[in-house]
Amino acid sequence: MPVTIGAVREIAPNETRVALVPEVVEKLALAGARVLIEPGAGARAYFPDSLYKKAEWATCAGEVLAAADVLLTVQPLSVDQIQQLKSGAVVIGFMQPHARKAEVKALRDRRITSFSVELIPRISRAQSMDALSSQAAIAGYKAVLIAASHLPKFFPMLTTAAGTIRPSQVLVIGAGVAGLQAIATARRLGAVVEAYDVRGATKEQVKSLGARFVDTGVSAEGAGGYARELTAEEKAKQQEVLDSRIAAADAVVTTASVPGRPAPKIISRSAVQRMRPGSVLVDVAAEQGGNCELTRAGEVVVHNGVNIIGPVNLPAQLAYNASEMYARNLLNFLKPALDKGELKIDWTDEVFVQSCLTHEGVVKHEPTLKALEG
Question: Which of 60, 101, 102, 122 touches ligand NAD by CB under 6 A?
Answer: 122
Beta strands in 209-321 (DSSP E): 212-213, 251-254, 280-283, 300-303, 306-309
Of 127 and 231, the one with the shorter C-beta distance to ligand NAD is 127
Kindly report each contact of residues 26-30 with a partner whose C-beta sits within 8 Å and lies 24 or more positions away, as own/partner.
26/53, 26/54, 27/331, 27/335, 28/54, 28/331, 28/334, 28/338, 29/54
**Quick check: 286 binds ligand NAD (CB under 6 A)?**
no
Q: Catalytic: 279?
A: no
Question: Which of 135, 257, 307, 317 touches ligand NAD by CB under 6 A?
Answer: 257
How far is the C-alpha of 227 from the C-alpha of 143, rounded, in Å?
Answer: 22
How far is the C-alpha of 49 from the C-alpha of 46, rounded, in Å?
Answer: 9
- Taking CB under 6 A as the binding criterion, the range among 18-26, 207-215, 253-261, 292-300 that sits at the site for ligand NAD is 253-261
Q: Catalytic: 83?
A: no
**Quick check: 185 binds ligand NAD (CB under 6 A)?**
no
> Smallest distance, Å, CB 107 to ligand NAD?
24
Could you tell me the end-to-end alpha-carbon distance of the chain, in angstroms, rounded to an integer? 42
Q: Catalytic: 273?
A: no
- The residue annotated as part of the active site, out of 81, 84, 116, 133, is 133
Q: Catalytic: 226?
A: yes
**Quick check: 282 binds ligand NAD (CB under 6 A)?**
no
Helix (H) or strand (E) holding 324: helix 319-334
Q: Are 141 and 182 in contact (CB under 8 A)?
A: yes
**Quick check: 231 binds ligand NAD (CB under 6 A)?**
no
Q: Running DSSP on this structure, what letter comes out for residue 312? A: S
**Quick check: 226 binds ligand NAD (CB under 6 A)?**
yes
**Quick check: 127 binds ligand NAD (CB under 6 A)?**
yes
**Quick check: 177 binds ligand NAD (CB under 6 A)?**
yes
Q: Catalytic: 133?
A: yes
**Quick check: 259 binds ligand NAD (CB under 6 A)?**
yes
- The residue annotated as part of the active site, out of 9, 188, 212, 226, is 226
Q: Running DSSP on this structure, what letter comes out for residue 331? A: H
Kindly report the backbone phi and psi dihedral angles of residue 300, in degrees, each rounded to the nearest multiple of 5, phi listed first: -110, 115
> Smallest distance, Å, CB 45 to ligand NAD?
23
Question: Following DSSP, what letter does each residue of 34-83 receive, concatenated?
Answer: EEEE-TTTTGGGT--GGG-TT-EE-SSHHHHHHH-SEEE-SSPPPHHHHH
Q: How far is CA 313 from the centre of its chain?
A: 8
Question: Which of 5, 19, 89, 136 touches ligand NAD by CB under 6 A?
Answer: 136
Of 90 and 214, the one with the shorter C-beta distance to ligand NAD is 214
Residue 282 pairs with which residues in a beta bridge? Answer: 253, 309
Question: Which of 6, 264, 310, 311 touches ligand NAD by CB under 6 A?
Answer: 264
**Quick check: 174 binds ligand NAD (CB under 6 A)?**
yes
For the annotated catalytic residues, the residue numbers are: 122, 127, 130, 133, 226
